[in-house]
Amino acid sequence: METLVEIKATARKQAFAARKAAHAEGRAEKAEAAADHVIAALGPLAVGTVVAGYSPIRTEIDPLPALARLAEAGARIALPVIAGAGLPLDFREWQPGAPLVDGPFGA
């Protein structure tokens, strides 16, 4: 009988393989379609509303097109900064086109 740790490890591997396969086709188009869904789901936001996001790594869905649209509409966008292992995330304001710096885990 598998342990919970083994079941979770298997599920993570399966999910990564599925994301990798899906990621391989039409990445830009999928990011724009995802942005459409995010914008629709959030609805109108007040100017200055803070929205937290992330910069994608590996096969993560790319939220940057949605975040860029939100910024254009007046939202303030915050991305996480990873200071190190075991430390809490810190969030910094981001604007489209701003440079990103690799963190300690390549994120």
Tokens of 39: 């914008």
**What are the pLDDT digits (tens) for 60-103?**
888 999 999 999 999 999 999 988 888 999 999 999 999 888 87
List C-alpha distances in Å: 53 to 7, 10, 21: 29, 27, 23
- Whether the CB-CB separation of 56 and 64 falls below 8 Å is answered with yes
Q: If we measure between CA atoms, which residue out of 76, 73, 61 comes closest to residue 28?
A: 61
Which amino acid is it at 31? A
**What are the pLDDT digits (tens) for 13-52?**
998 888 788 767 666 777 788 899 999 999 999 999 999 9
H/E segment holding residue 15: helix 4-23
The rounded distance, in Å, linking the Cα atoms of 40 and 38 is 5
Q: pTM for the complete prediction?
A: 0.72
